[in-house]
């Protein structure tokens, strides 16, 4: 059981998404998340990929979603907002710890 738990870390792409949502605070919905992710990773991702990844996060309970109000610039369509759940916060913290311990004592130049 312990071994299973230890594998329960976030994947990099989950981490990137969570980070984007966290940074966007209350304004985390499709357009903004996509831009944030593209900006952070320097890669263009499509909405198809984005939404399926977000769904996965929702299913894992790391993120909750709620439906916002319609706005005119979206042709009157509603937005779906995303928010990091407490469990998500916990996972992020674990992930940060893991990264720090992983990289402890390794300088950027040493890898070469």
**Residue labelled with tokens 């979206």:** 74
CB 12 to another protein: min, Å: 19
3-state secondary structure 40-80: HHCCCCCHHHHHHHHHHHHHHCCEEEEECCCCHHHCCCCCE
Q: Does 78 bind another protein (CB under 8 A)?
A: yes
CB 107 to another protein: min, Å: 39
Q: Which of residues 18-77 bind another protein (CB under 8 A)?
A: 29-31, 34, 46-49, 51, 55, 67, 71-75, 77
Q: Which residues contact 4 (CB under 8 A, 6 or more apart)?
A: none
Q: Which residues in this chain contact another protein in the complex, by CB under 8 A? A: 29-31, 34, 46-49, 51, 55, 67, 71-75, 77-80
């Amino acid at each position: 059981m312990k071994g299973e738990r230890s594998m329960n870390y976030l994947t990099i792409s989950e981490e990137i998404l969570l980070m984007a949502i966290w940074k966007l605070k209350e304004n985390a919905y499709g357009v903004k998340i996509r831009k944030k992710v593209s900006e952070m990773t320097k890669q263009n991702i499509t909405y198809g990929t984005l939404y399926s990844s977000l769904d996965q996060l929702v299913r894992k309970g790391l993120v909750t979603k709620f439906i916002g109000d319609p706005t005119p610039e979206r042709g009157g369509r509603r937005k779906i907002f995303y928010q990091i759940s407490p469990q998500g916060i916990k996972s992020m913290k674990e992930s940060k710890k893991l990264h720090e311990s992983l990289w402890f004592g390794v300088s950027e130049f040493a890898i070469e």
